[in-house]
């Protein structure tokens, strides 16, 4: 049977709120406030670990709820690109990504009174070779400053991308196919469905 536990999104991201809302899931938002620090250097494991840290922090506050958390890590080879702290750093990130293929990993963790479900999605993203003017223009928009890797698909940043291999919603920070699978595992009705869990 579908769970009767409330659903809590452990993220302040407006993109994650919009994407979860599009699934027909009623939810509250509780931001974890968990520090996104880890000694882990493998990007896939790091994304999963940080998502789990966020989910556990909120689950401790809301043990009555199904808590869903996500964290996105962008990797160019061994280099991990977090959120740029300035337009200058944003340009430096874009220079690293220009004309190359990088990986975007998003870890998703779902914790409920009934258990825990988790996974990590990977998408390969290839940027066009970018001119200095393009990089400066994009960084000046400010669009990339709150995003891992320093760019977003849902705005001007789409023009930077030449090719995507994998789930595009993963690059936005909320891989929908994985999220749907994990939520259904936790008994959450998606798209208004009421499926039997016998």
CATH number at residue 175: 3.90.950.10
* Residue 68 exposed, middle or buried by CB count within 10 Å (0-12, 13-18, 19+): buried
Q: Is the pTM of this model over 0.85?
A: yes
- Grade residue 192 by pLDDT with cuts at 50, 70 and 90: confident
Tell me the pLDDT of the chain averaged across its residues: 93
Q: Kindly state whether residue 142 falls inside one of the protein's structural domains.
A: yes
Q: Kindly state whether residue 1 falls inside one of the protein's structural domains.
A: no
What Rg, from alpha-carbon coordinates, does the chain have? Answer: 17
- 33-44 CB burial, b ≥16 within 10 A, e <16: ebeeeeeeeebb
pLDDT tens profile 40-86 = 889 999 999 999 999 999 999 999 999 999 999 999 999 999 999 99
Catalytic residues: 71
Which residue segment(s) compose the domain that 134 sits in?
A: 7-185
Token readout for 79 is: 């280099």
Q: Kindly state whether residue 153 falls inside one of the protein's structural domains.
A: yes
């Amino acid at each position: 049977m579908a769970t009767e536990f409330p659903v809590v999104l452990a993220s302040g991201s407006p993109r994650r709120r919009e994407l979860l809302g599009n699934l027909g899931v009623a939810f509250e938002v509780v931001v974890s406030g968990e520090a996104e620090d880890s000694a882990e250097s493998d990007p896939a494991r790091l994304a999963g670990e940080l998502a789990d840290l966020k989910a556990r922090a909120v689950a401790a506050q809301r043990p009555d709820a199904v808590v869903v958390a996500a964290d996105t890590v962008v990797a160019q080879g061994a280099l991990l690109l977090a959120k740029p702290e300035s337009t200058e750093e944003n340009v430096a990130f874009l220079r690293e990504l220009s004309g190359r293929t990088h990986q975007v990993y998003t870890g998703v963790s779902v914790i409920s009174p009934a258990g825990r479900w988790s996974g990590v999605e990977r998408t390969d993203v290839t940027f066009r070779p970018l001119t200095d003017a393009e990089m400066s223009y994009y960084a000046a928009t400010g669009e990339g400053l709150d995003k891992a890797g320093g760019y977003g698909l849902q705005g001007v940043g789409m023009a930077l991308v030449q090719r995507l291999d994998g789930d595009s919603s993963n690059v936005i920070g909320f891989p929908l196919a994985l999220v749907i699978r994990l939520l259904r595992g936790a008994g959450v009705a998606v798209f208004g469905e009421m499926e039997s869990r016998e």
